[in-house]
Amino acid sequence: MKMWSGRFETAVEASFDRWQRSFPYDRRLLAYEIASSKAHAEALAQAGVLSGQELSAVIGALGRILSEGVPADTDATIEDVHHFVERGVVEQAGDVGMKLHTGRSRNELIATDLRLYTRDSIDHVHVRTSALIEALVEKAEAAGMAAMPAYTHAQRAEPVLAAHWLLAYAEMFLRDIDRLQSCRERLNECPLGSGAVAGTVVPVDRQAVARKLGFDGPTANSMDATSDRDFAIEFVQHASLLAGHLSRLAEDLILFSSNEYGFVHLPDAYCTGSSAMPQKKNPDALELLRAHAGRVLGNAVALATTVKALPLAYNKDLQETQMPLFDTVGRTLAVLDVATGCLRSLDIDVPRMRIAATRGGMNAFAAAAFLARRGVPFRKAHELIGRAVQLSLSKKCELEELSTEDLGRCEIDVPLDQFRSALSLDAVLALHDVEGGTAPARVAAAIANVRERLESMQEPVGGRS
C-alpha cells in the first residue's frame, strides 16, 4: 500500500510510478533511516505519543529491519527507503507501526539521512586522503636527495628535490581534508522536528534527538532544513577539487613514466597491456584517475543546477540530488585507494632524474643570482647569462662547461672556479633556502611539518571502516 493513496481516485500510471521511485538507490541510506527513526520514536515516547511497550516494539522492529537488510524478494512497489522502513515496522510490530510517522515527514527524514550519509562519507574520505598523504610523505622521505627538473610552461625551469614535488601534492590534499572538515562542521545540524515544512506539531525534544544522532544541535529553520542541499553541493564541490588534484598527480605520473621522461617506473599491478602491441605497458589506473575529475565535476554541476531556482521549500526535484552525491562518494573512495596503492609501489629512477635535472641550462637562474650577489644588477645579470646560454647552446655544452674566454665574450668577468661551483646541482638546490623552498634542509623540515599537520588533524570517529 502507498503512504498517500487516500486522496486519489485512480491509480498512478504504472510506468510513471516505477520511474519516480528512489528505492533502487536510496536503499543505501537504510542505516541512517533506521537511526533517525529510532531517535524519532524515542522522542514520541517522551512526548507521550508512544507507550513504553509500544516504543520497545517499534525499536525492536527497527533493529530487525536493519539486521535483515533489503531481502532479494522485496516488493517492487516500495517507493523509497522511508516507505520500506515504515512498512517493515508495521509488518513486524503490527498497528503500532502506523504511529511511527506521527509528527514527522519524509521531507525532514531525507534531509536528515543525507546529512548523516554525507557526514560519514566525509570521515571515510578523510581517512583515505590521509593515507594518500602518508604515502606521499613516505615517498618524499625515501627520495632523499634525488633531484628532478621542475617545469613551468612544460619547459625545464629549475632543479628541485623530487621530495619537494611530492610534497606539493601533500599540501593540496591537506587543504582538501581541511575543506571537507569545515563542510562537516556546517552540516552537523539535525533537521528532525522540521516536519514537512513548518515544524512538527508534536512537542518533541529536538535537542535530545539531535544529540542522539551525533549532531551539534537542531537546525534553526524548518523551511531551510527541509529544502536545502547545500551541504551535498559543498561536499561534491570539495570532492571535485580533490579529484582535480588527483588528476594533476596522475598526469604528472603518466608523463614521467613515459620513455620520453623516464623519471618513474609504474608498478605492473596498476598497468595493463595492449591487445595489439606486445611491448605496451599502459598507465590505465592513472588515466582513469585523471578522468575521474570529469565525472565528479559533472556531478557538482548537476547538483548545483538541480537546486538552483527551486521555490521554497521541499520539491521532488530534490530527490535528484541523491545520485550525483552517491556516485561521487563511491568513486572518490575508490580512486583514493588506487592512487595510494599506485604511489606506494612507484619506483623513482633517481639517476635518470638527476641527468635531466643537470642538463639544459637549468642552473641559468642560479648563475644570474650568482652575478647579482657580486653586485651586477639583476636585469643586467639576466642579460649576460642569457648570452652565455646562447653560446652554450651553439657549443652544445652546459653553462658550467664554458671557459673563461667564453664567459669573457659574454662580458662575464668572474673567477671560473667560483662560477662553476655556484652552478653545481647541490649549490643550485641549496640556494633556495627559504621557507617553502627546495633547499634540502627546508624540504626535510617540510616533511616533518606535513607529518605534524597530518597527525594533528582530528582522526574521524566513524571513518575507519
Q: What is the DSSP string of 431-460?
A: H--STTS--HHHHHHHHHHHHHHHHHSPPP
Could you check whether the bond before residue 313 is cis, i.e. omega within 30 degrees of 0? yes
* Binding test (CB under 6 A) with ligand ARG, winner from 37, 107, 219, 237: 107
* Binding test (CB under 6 A) with ligand ARG, winner from 74, 319, 424, 449: 319
- Closer residue to ligand ARG (CB): 270 or 314: 314
Cα–Cα distance measured from residue 333 to residue 160, given in angstroms and rounded to the nearest whole number = 31
* Candidates 117-125, 262-270, 315-323, 354-362; binding stretch for ligand ARG (CB under 6 A): 315-323
- Closer residue to ligand ARG (CB): 322 or 363: 322
- Closer residue to ligand ARG (CB): 78 or 166: 78
Place of cell 653586485: 375
Residue 244, amino acid: G
226 binds ligand ARG per the rule CB under 6 A: no
162 binds ligand ARG per the rule CB under 6 A: no
Cα–Cα distance measured from residue 246 to residue 335, given in angstroms and rounded to the nearest whole number = 9
Could you say which of 51, 182, 258, 274 is catalytic?
274
Is residue 371 within 8 A of residue 377, CB to CB? The reply is: no
* Binding test (CB under 6 A) with ligand ARG, winner from 43, 110, 313, 381: 110
Closest distance to ligand ARG from the beta carbon of 186 (Å)? 21
Is residue 53 within 8 A of residue 61, CB to CB? The reply is: no
Cα–Cα distance measured from residue 356 to residue 376, given in angstroms and rounded to the nearest whole number = 29
* Candidates 103-111, 229-237, 292-300, 324-332; binding stretch for ligand ARG (CB under 6 A): 103-111
Is there a catalytic annotation at residue 101? no
Cα–Cα distance measured from residue 366 to residue 64, given in angstroms and rounded to the nearest whole number = 71
Task: Specify the 3-state DSSP secondary structure of 423.
Answer: coil
Strand 264-265, strand 347-348: pairing: antiparallel
Is there a catalytic annotation at residue 274? yes
Q: Sort 19 into a burial class: Cβ within 10 Å, 0-12 / 13-18 / 19+.
A: exposed
80 binds ligand ARG per the rule CB under 6 A: yes
Cell, residue 178: 581541511
Closest distance to ligand ARG from the beta carbon of 12 (Å)? 13
Instruction: State which residue has the least CB distance to ligand ARG.
Output: 319
* Binding test (CB under 6 A) with ligand ARG, winner from 59, 233, 303, 318: 318
- Closer residue to ligand ARG (CB): 106 or 290: 106
Could you say which of 5, 67, 153, 275 is catalytic?
153
Q: What is the DSSP string of 359-391?
A: SSSTTHHHHHHHHHHTT--HHHHHHHHHHHHHH
Give the count of residues interacting with ligand ARG (CB under 6 A). 11
Binding mask 227-266 for ligand ARG (x = CB under 6 A): ----------------------------------------
- Closer residue to ligand ARG (CB): 107 or 358: 107
- Closer residue to ligand ARG (CB): 317 or 413: 317
Residue 186, amino acid: R
Residues serving a catalytic function are 153, 274
Which positions touch ligand ARG (CB under 6 A)? 22, 26, 80, 106-107, 110, 314, 316, 318-319, 322
